[in-house]
């Protein structure tokens, strides 16, 4: 059958295919889905037409591994295609792969990259072996750095795009706030040549300023603080807070009642001071603030809890004659979740003997 350019334009020749015509004599061109012959009507017809050498199967574009279409593309005809344990098809028909896909193929990507001449290319969708080949081709032929990050992988790309922007007073004040970090070095880690010149306690400023670049009509770009940005938008800041109330057991002082839920005010200060010192030793790189009534490290706040019905309290109290149970409430923001549980673990194993 000769299919000329005007053949498909003749609507009288384009008809819906009737299943009863699958084994009818004569020639025809059938468009059937799915294109990967993974099931449906295309697989039903393929079973009937594949054994005949006069037939031609055209596979448009990409076929997923494991489908009949993918097996046909890598097979040498004649061959046998096994659909399942009970069904096997003898394939003698001709197989042709047509570069037709709603996705851009390798040639299209190369043409696009060559036309745009970007500084970086990121490949995010496709089979890994083919993406590796395409990356090497882009780098070798076009001299452009190309990346193919895995799922959930963070990719950092250097940029030379500089934007001149102003800054608000609030943002500039946040830049002036130091963020001192303390690094302790053991003398055993230093050789003789550095012991005299290298201090055991080093202080450095780990200052990081965060702002938001805003662009307004007929105005120059400006960097503002987060609070200023939310105020301009008329929105409130929402923060996820977590809390946990846990017991710590301390020895009873003479004449004290084991049923008391909290020690005296002076003893509370001594307990918090012991905890603060322990946290300073265990977390030397963090700023541990002893605020008399509570201890704060970043967003983590630890304080005594006298509420017997505290909603954050879990577990069963263990009564003891020689030890008193004191509860601490620990609250923190979601960003410091790992740090908070580390602090809780340090406090729980602390020997509070005063």
User: Does any domain span residue 291?
Assistant: yes
Compute the C-alpha angle 322/324/326, nearest 5°: 165
3-state secondary structure of 54: coil
Full domain range(s) for residue 113: 106-147
Are residues 262 and 224 both part of a single domain? no
- At residue 188, the pLDDT reads 56
- At residue 2, the pLDDT reads 47
d(CA 265, CA 286) in angstroms, rounded, equals 27
pLDDT tens-digit map of 78-127: 889 888 888 889 999 999 987 665 556 788 889 999 999 999 999 988 78
User: Does any domain span residue 115?
Assistant: yes
The residue among 57, 80, 98 that closes a domain is: 98
CATH number at residue 311: 3.30.310
Phi/psi at 212 (nearest 5 deg)? -120, 125
- At residue 291, the pLDDT reads 84
Are residues 246 and 270 both part of a single domain? yes
User: Does any domain span residue 354?
Assistant: no
Are residues 289 and 213 both part of a single domain? no
Are residues 90 and 15 both part of a single domain? yes
User: Does any domain span residue 90?
Assistant: yes
List CB contacts of 234: < 8 A, sequence separation 6 or more.
none
Are residues 321 and 245 both part of a single domain? yes
Are residues 317 and 255 both part of a single domain? yes
Q: Is the pTM for the entire model greater than 0.75?
A: no
The residue among 233, 251, 284 that closes a domain is: 233
d(CA 101, CA 255) in angstroms, rounded, equals 85
Are residues 190 and 213 both part of a single domain? yes
Compute the C-alpha angle 294/300/303, nearest 5°: 25
Are residues 222 and 245 both part of a single domain? no
- At residue 253, the pLDDT reads 57
Identify the CA nearest to 310 among candidates 264, 260, 246: 246
Block means of pLDDT (10 residues each) for the chain, 354 residues, are 54 79 88 90 93 91 84 87 86 85 73 92 87 92 93 85 86 82 60 58 75 88 90 86 88 53 63 88 88 89 88 70 79 93 89 54
CATH number at residue 80: 3.40.50.10890
Domain count, the chain: 4
User: Does any domain span residue 157?
Assistant: no
- At residue 190, the pLDDT reads 54
User: Does any domain span residue 259?
Assistant: yes
User: Does any domain span residue 2?
Assistant: no
- At residue 138, the pLDDT reads 94
Strands 323-333, 120-122: parallel, antiparallel or unpaired by DSSP? unpaired
């Amino acid at each position: 059958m000769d299919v000329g350019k005007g053949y498909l334009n003749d609507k009288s020749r384009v008809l819906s295919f009737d299943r009863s015509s699958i084994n009818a004599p004569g020639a025809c061109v059938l468009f059937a889905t799915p294109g990967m012959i993974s099931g449906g009507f295309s697989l039903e017809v393929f079973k009937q037409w594949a054994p005949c050498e006069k037939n031609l199967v055209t596979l448009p574009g990409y076929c997923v591994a494991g489908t009949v279409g993918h097996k046909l593309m890598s097979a040498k005809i004649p061959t046998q295609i096994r659909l399942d344990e009970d069904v096997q098809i003898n394939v003698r028909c001709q197989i042709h792969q047509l570069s037709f896909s709603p996705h851009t193929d390798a040639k299209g990507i190369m043409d696009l990259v060559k036309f745009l001449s970007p500084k970086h290319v990121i490949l995010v969708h496709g089979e890994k072996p083919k993406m590796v080949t395409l990356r090497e081709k882009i780098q070798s032929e076009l001299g452009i750095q190309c990346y193919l990050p895995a799922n959930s992988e963070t990719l950092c790309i250097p940029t030379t795009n500089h934007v001149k922007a102003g800054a608000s007073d609030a943002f500039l004040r946040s830049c002036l706030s130091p963020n001192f970090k303390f690094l302790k070095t053991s003398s055993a880690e230093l050789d003789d040549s550095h012991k005299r010149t290298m201090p055991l306690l080093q202080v450095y400023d780990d200052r990081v300023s965060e702002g938001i670049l805003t662009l307004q009509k007929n105005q120059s770009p400006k960097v503002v603080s987060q609070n200023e940005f939310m105020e301009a938008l008329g929105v409130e800041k929402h923060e996820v807070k977590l809390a946990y109330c846990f017991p710590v057991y301390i020895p009873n002082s003479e004449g004290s009642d084991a049923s008391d839920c909290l020690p005296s005010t002076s003893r509370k200060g001594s307990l918090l001071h012991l905890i603060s010192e322990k946290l300073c030793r265990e977390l030397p790189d963090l700023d541990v603030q002893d605020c008399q009534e509570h201890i704060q490290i970043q967003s983590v706040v630890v304080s005594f809890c006298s509420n017997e019905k505290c909603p954050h309290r879990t577990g069963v109290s263990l009564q003891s004659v020689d030890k008193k149970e004191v509860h601490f409430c620990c609250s923190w923001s979601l960003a410091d979740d790992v740090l908070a549980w580390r602090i809780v673990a340090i406090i729980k194993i602390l020997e509070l003997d005063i």
